[in-house]
Amino acid sequence: DATEQAIVGAIRDVLAAPRSSPDALYTHGRILAARGELGAAADALASAVQAAPNQVEYRVAYARALRAAGRPRMADTEVRTAAKQQPKNPLVQMAVAEMEASHGRWIAAMAAATAAANASDPPLGIHKLLGDLCLATGRSVQACEEYKLAGKQVGALKPLAQLLLRQGQWDDAISAASDALALAPDDTDVRATLASAYSGACRYPEAIIQRATIITQLAEHVSDSAESTRSGASAAAIHRGPPTLPPATEEFVARQVRGLLTDVLSGCRDVAYGTGSRTQLYRAMQESLIAADRLRAELASGPTSPATDEAGAHRALAYALWSQASYDLIKALEGTDTAALSGPLDLVSQAVDELDQAAKAAMRARSRK
């Protein structure tokens, strides 16, 4: 939209402007770091530090860029220099906490972070850091409180939602995950947390929709990756087989499908008992069918079958059963006879069994390596 275009234009102007002052170099470096251009960011920030060596804000930003770029020793040197220059500066104290945490020195990290948080003007992100430190040291209750104080940022909302989920605080987990998802709609981990929270709260149609969205997004990613390969490769090097998922992603997808199927079983049970909404489940099953068919189409495209091993064969059968069950349940939910649900639910149960067999087969395959 117009606002986004204005922001992009402003960033472009900053990057193109002459960098004759330390502040301009610092701003340039921060923007490059945010864009993931860590080497260029470190160079710009190094120039800012060289031009204004007593400006600890520049030095801390330089240290963070170095650490992100995989140069921890140089980063530690810059943090220690800043600590000698302004040991009571909250931003410097936060940088010290980050340095200590990177070495697993949790007590020292917590002390420095707490000092920064107690300042009259605490640095941005300090409560998120304190949450991370509490989480790393097993203090989940305190971690939740710190993440809540961090405000609306994905880096805090995401672990907060996961903690609340583990604690069984379904409504609070849904709230935190929803806020995180609004900021990062493509984050599949956040969406998976939201789906699990909906399941815990017995809101099965909503859980089904979230898991179906995850699967559809990942299927689209497979398609986009395959298209990039085709457009970027020579005719001789084009991948002719089906698009594939990395093993970890493949297992993540299988877990999401299994979670969706168990939500379907629970949702249908609620409808049969009159405690669930037939209309909501009907809509959820439409999304389920779309996701099943999209995933199967992407994994099966190409001249060869993706089911090249035992685990893959079980998954392929499970996905076929899932697709058929989704279609049959849509038809059954159009009527009012709950007995019509039993046949499709048998297919759902079979699909769950196939996914369990796939998981066992994958485990056996890993143990043989």
In a domain, 227, yes or no: yes
Q: Which residue has the tokens 């921060």?
A: 30
pLDDT of residue 247: 77
pLDDT of residue 237: 43
Q: Could you give the CA distance from residue 264 to residue 350 in angstroms, rounded to a whole number? A: 13
**Final residue before a domain boundary, out of 51, 86, 121:** 86
Q: 365 and 227, same structural domain?
A: yes
DSSP per-residue letters across 327-358: HHHHHHHTSS-GGGGHHHHHHHHHHHHHHHHH
The token pair at 320 is: 């076929």
Model pLDDT for residues 79-137, shown as the tens digit of each residue: 999 999 999 999 999 999 999 999 999 999 999 999 999 999 999 999 999 999 999 99
pLDDT of residue 365: 84
Domain residues for the domain of 4 are: 1-86
**Final residue before a domain boundary, out of 31, 53, 86:** 86
Q: Tell me the torsion sign for CA atoms 162, 166, 167, 171.
A: positive
Of the candidates 173, 302, 174, 166, the residue with the CA atom closest to the CA atom of residue 242: 302
In a domain, 185, yes or no: no
Q: 360 and 211, same structural domain?
A: yes
In a domain, 91, yes or no: no
Model pLDDT for residues 251-308, shown as the tens digit of each residue: 899 999 999 999 999 999 999 999 999 999 999 999 999 999 999 998 876 444 445 5
In a domain, 269, yes or no: yes
Cα–Cα–Cα angle for 284, 297, 256, rounded to 5 degrees: 45
Q: Tell me the torsion sign for CA atoms 187, 190, 196, 201.
A: negative
337 or 309: which carries more pLDDT confidence?
337
In a domain, 208, yes or no: yes
pLDDT of residue 304: 42
pLDDT of residue 308: 59
Name, in order, each residue with C-beta under 8 angstroms of 97's C-beta and a sequence gap of 6 or more: 108, 109, 110, 111, 112, 113, 116, 129, 133
In a domain, 338, yes or no: yes
Q: Is 351 exposed, middle or buried (0-12, 13-18, 19+ CB in 10 A)?
A: buried
The token pair at 267 is: 């949702």
Q: What are the DSSP E strand ranges found in the chain?
A: none
Q: Could you give the CA distance from residue 261 to residue 346 in angstroms, rounded to a whole number? A: 11
Q: 364 and 221, same structural domain?
A: yes
Number of domains in the chain: 2
Q: 208 and 82, same structural domain?
A: no
Q: Can you give the CATH number for the domain in which 12 is found?
A: 1.25.40.10
Model pLDDT for residues 143-163, shown as the tens digit of each residue: 999 999 999 999 999 999 999
| Distance separating the N- and C-terminal Cα atoms of the chain | 51
The token pair at 55 is: 């400006």
Of the candidates 322, 343, 341, 324, the residue with the CA atom closest to the CA atom of residue 281: 341
Q: 210 and 75, same structural domain?
A: no
pLDDT of residue 248: 79
In a domain, 187, yes or no: no
pLDDT of residue 171: 98
Model pLDDT for residues 203-212, shown as the tens digit of each residue: 999 999 999 9
Q: Which residue has the tokens 């990613």?
A: 221
pLDDT of residue 232: 52
If pLDDT is split at 50, 70 and 90, which confidence band does 329 have?
very high
Q: Is 174 exposed, middle or buried (0-12, 13-18, 19+ CB in 10 A)?
A: buried
> At residue 366, does pLDDT exceed 90?
no
**Final residue before a domain boundary, out of 53, 86, 119:** 86
In a domain, 103, yes or no: no
Between 19-23, 46-50, 282-286, the lowest mean confidence (pLDDT) is in 19-23
Q: What is the mean pLDDT of the chain?
A: 88
